[in-house]
Amino acid sequence: MVRVVLIDDEDHIRDSLVKLLERNCQQVSVIGTASGVHSGIRIIRELNPDLVLLDIQMNDGTGFDLLQAFPRVDFKVIFITAYDQYALQAFRFSAIDYLLKPVNPEHLVSAIGRAALFIRDHFNMQIEALYENLRSVSRQDKKIILKTTEQIHLLDLKNIVTCESDSCYTTVHTIEGEHIMVAKTLKEYEEMLAGCGFYRAHKSHLINLAHIKRFDRQDGGYIVLTNDMKIPVASRKREEMMALLEKMAE
């Protein structure tokens, strides 16, 4: 049984979440609720929950203020948020679960299921990555969490050379020569990295534009990256690729 605390400053949100959990998540027991940062800190210390559903913007502070009251976060967290798209991208990079208001029951059930399998020791790494991503201005200064079956990797976006599709998996190639296979599709990474200097040059490759060494026109056209990988350019993408390179050279 997963012991859950709900922290949100809106009464109807808390009531709605309690009902949704009772109706859809039999493995969950709601052991307490709180309406703000200070009351939330008290109830977490008193009840020691497995999982906290945590609002971000509350009347007496933020969910981040609450987390910083704990030297080490030894409970799972799912954020509840109405944040804008920029902030949501930071959550996705950091591999931290969040629920948008109003909460969708299916999304809630999925997030609870993932939380039940979550390894607590990794959350502190993820929350630090989230803080950095929310603070960063440059798109390439962001960090991303990559989860494999055995490890969790924290990478700077600028150190990713290319993401390569492998059916339902993606292999991330880094400047250090790492090849990290993750159980996400290339389409998911294309959407996640939109606006961060990555380009889908081919159905199998999402390249970091900062790592282009040259474009070679022979053999149908291919890109040579800084790690010397040769990436074919889809025929329908060649003109667009050339325009991008010309713009980068300005």
CATH number of the domain within which 110 lies: 3.40.50.2300
How confident is the model over 129-162, as pLDDT tens digits?
Answer: 666 666 655 566 788 888 887 778 888 899 999 9
Q: Could you give the CA distance from residue 159 to residue 104 in angstroms, rounded to a whole number?
A: 35
Residue type for 137, please? Answer: V
pLDDT of residue 39: 97
CATH number of the domain within which 230 lies: 2.40.50.1020
User: Residue 179: exposed, middle, or buried by beta-carbon count in 10 A (0-12, 13-18, 19+)?
Assistant: exposed
**Same domain, yes or no, for 91 and 199?**
no
**Same domain, yes or no, for 74 and 169?**
no
SS3 call for 140:
helix
**Same domain, yes or no, for 73 and 44?**
yes
* Residue 19 contacts residue 6 (beta carbons within 8 Å): no
**Same domain, yes or no, for 156 and 105?**
no
Length of the chain (residues) = 250
Q: Which is more confident, 149 or 118?
A: 149
**Same domain, yes or no, for 16 and 50?**
yes
**Same domain, yes or no, for 98 and 180?**
no
SS3 call for 233:
coil
Range of the domain at 46: 2-134
pLDDT of residue 220: 73
Last residue of a domain, one of 97, 113, 134: 134
Last residue of a domain, one of 84, 119, 134: 134
Instruction: Please name which of 142, 141, 136, 188 lies closest in space to residue 163, comparing C-alpha atoms.
Output: 188
**Same domain, yes or no, for 153 and 240?**
yes
Report the pLDDT averaged over residues 107-117.
81
User: Residue 30: exposed, middle, or buried by beta-carbon count in 10 A (0-12, 13-18, 19+)?
Assistant: buried
Q: Could you give the CA distance from residue 102 to residue 118 in angstroms, rounded to a whole number?
A: 24
Last residue of a domain, one of 134, 159, 177: 134
pLDDT of residue 137: 55
Q: Which is more confident, 133 or 36?
A: 36
Which DSSP symbol is given to 138? S
Residue type for 112, please? Answer: I
**Same domain, yes or no, for 102 and 18?**
yes
Which DSSP symbol is given to 238? H
Beta partners for 100? 81
- Least confident segment among 7-21, 87-101, 110-124, 213-227: 110-124
**Same domain, yes or no, for 35 and 118?**
yes
**Same domain, yes or no, for 147 and 123?**
no
**Same domain, yes or no, for 126 and 147?**
no
Listed in sequence order, the residues at least 6 apart from 226 whose beta carbon sits closer than 8 Å to its beta carbon are: 161, 175, 211, 212, 213
**Same domain, yes or no, for 165 and 192?**
yes
pTM, entire model? 0.60
Domain count, the chain: 2
